[in-house]
């Protein structure tokens, strides 16, 4: 490692996560890589999380706490970016936790490969239950080109996530998260992945993502989820602008899959609400818009698209009996 190790600025937005916050902060403090600047942004918590933040700042001088009125996760992350001084930046949600060697391994991979973004595997967890769908990982480091990234997204080996990555702060520059948009990570990821053109990828689970906790924005049923369609459209346009229509069509297939997912989620919801009706309508419309982009789907995806194209209700029926 470098004689003058780089500072990694870790940005952690916090809002009413008292039950999970200690585990998150402890996982950062226990990192084998010690040269961290830990920026904890309390976004107007009222459940005692704000006190926990201040208590941890007294324990460890690497932690700086900023309190603000509730303005949302994007605003909190943006504030962290304003105060970050490290050469590298990492984001971590306050209900997630990381493995002890995460930042050491991400930084080593960045320095070895000369890339501005490094990504590792992230594992979904439900409270104390760990998803074991990732059976094993090699720990190998691979440099992924833009084409590798796009196909990785399509095959769901790579996801639009920010918390399993290390970013060179110079690359981020003036890029900020869009406030009030659920798919803010997709917007941020999209811009920077295109700007970087390549990333280093570590085939090892170093991040743990908590799903299905009460209040988690990823479990809520909101019309704002439709914002991701505009992000898919922007990414397809960006790829077409650089002459990669083939990759734009791959993203079109991914977008079509996402439209089907939104439709199914909404159709199977028991509530009869205006939001549900709008999600169903917009998801079907977006599916029809992207259908013709998909020429090279796998067999299973082709079959799913075929039934959905016949009629969404046929797809739902086949899904139930299958």
Q: Could you tell me the CATH number of the domain that includes residue 89?
A: 3.90.550.10
Confidence at residue 220, expressed as pLDDT on a 0 to 100 scale: 47
Predicted structure pTM score: 0.86
CA 177 and chain centroid, separation: 12
Domain match, 205 and 301 both: no
Q: 137 and 260: one domain? A: no
Domain boundary among the residues 155, 179, 211 is at: 211
The answer to the question of residue 30 being in a domain is yes
Give the range of the structural domain holding residue 82, as residue numbers without chain letter: 8-211
Residues 225 and 99 in one domain: no
For residue 286, being part of any structural domain is answered with yes
**Which pair of tokens denotes residue 172?**
């981020």
- Cα–Cα distance between 204 and 180 in angstroms, integer? 32
Among 30, 24, 29, 41, residue whose Cα is nearest residue 97: 24
Which one of 184, 211, 238 terminates a domain? 211
Pair 77, 173 in one domain = yes
Do 71 and 205 lie in one domain? The reply is yes
**Gyration radius (Cα) of the chain, Å:** 20
Q: What is the DSSP string of 124-173?
A: EEETTEEP--S------EEEEEHHHHHHHHHTTSS-S-STTEEEEHHHHT
Q: Where does residue 240 rank: exposed (0-12), middle (13-18), buried (19+ CB within 10 A)?
A: middle
Give domain status of residue 172, yes or no.
yes
Please check whether residues 102 and 241 belong to one and the same domain. Answer: no
pLDDT tens for the chain, 322 residues long, are 445 689 999 999 999 999 999 999 999 999 999 999 999 999 999 999 999 999 999 999 999 999 999 999 999 999 999 999 999 999 999 999 999 999 999 999 999 999 999 999 999 887 665 555 555 578 899 999 999 999 999 888 888 889 999 999 999 988 999 887 666 788 888 889 899 999 999 999 999 998 865 555 444 455 556 788 888 999 999 999 999 999 999 999 888 888 888 888 788 777 778 888 888 888 888 888 887 777 655 556 666 666 666 666 766 665 555 5
Distance between CA atoms of 284 and 311, rounded to whole angstroms? 10
């Amino acid at each position: 490692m470098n004689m003058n190790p780089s500072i990694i600025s870790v940005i952690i937005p916090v809002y009413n996560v008292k039950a999970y916050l200690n585990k998150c902060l402890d996982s950062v403090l226990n990192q084998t890589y010690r040269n961290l600047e830990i920026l904890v942004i309390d976004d107007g918590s009222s459940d005692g999380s704000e006190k926990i933040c201040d208590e941890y700042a007294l324990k460890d001088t690497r932690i700086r706490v900023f309190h603000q009125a509730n303005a949302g996760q994007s605003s909190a992350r943006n504030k962290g970016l304003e105060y970050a001084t490290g050469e590298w930046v990492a984001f971590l949600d306050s209900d997630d936790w990381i493995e002890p060697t995460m930042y050491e391994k991400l930084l080593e991979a960045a320095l070895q490969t000369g890339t501005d973004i490094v990504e590792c595997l992230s594992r979904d967890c439900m409270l104390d239950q760990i998803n074991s769908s990732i059976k094993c990982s090699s720990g190998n480091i691979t440099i992924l080109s833009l084409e590798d990234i796009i196909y990785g997204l399509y095959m769901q080996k790579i996801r639009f996530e920010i918390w399993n990555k290390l970013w060179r702060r110079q690359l981020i520059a003036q890029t900020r998260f869009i406030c009030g948009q659920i798919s803010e990570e997709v917007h941020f990821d999209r811009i920077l992945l295109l700007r970087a053109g390549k990333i280093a990828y570590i085939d090892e689970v170093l991040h743990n993502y908590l799903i299905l906790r009460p209040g988690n924005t990823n479990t809520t049923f909101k019309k704002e989820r439709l914002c991701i369609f505009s992000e898919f459209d922007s990414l397809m346009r960006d790829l077409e602008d650089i002459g990669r229509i083939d990759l734009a069509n791959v993203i079109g297939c991914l977008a079509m899959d996402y439209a089907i997912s939104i439709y199914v989620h909404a159709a199977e919801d028991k509530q009869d609400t205006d939001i549900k009706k709008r999600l169903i309508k917009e998801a079907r419309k977006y599916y029809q818009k992207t259908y013709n982009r998909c020429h090279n789907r796998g067999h299973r995806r082709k079959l799913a698209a075929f039934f959905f194209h016949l009629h969404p209700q046929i797809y739902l029926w086949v899904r139930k009996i299958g």
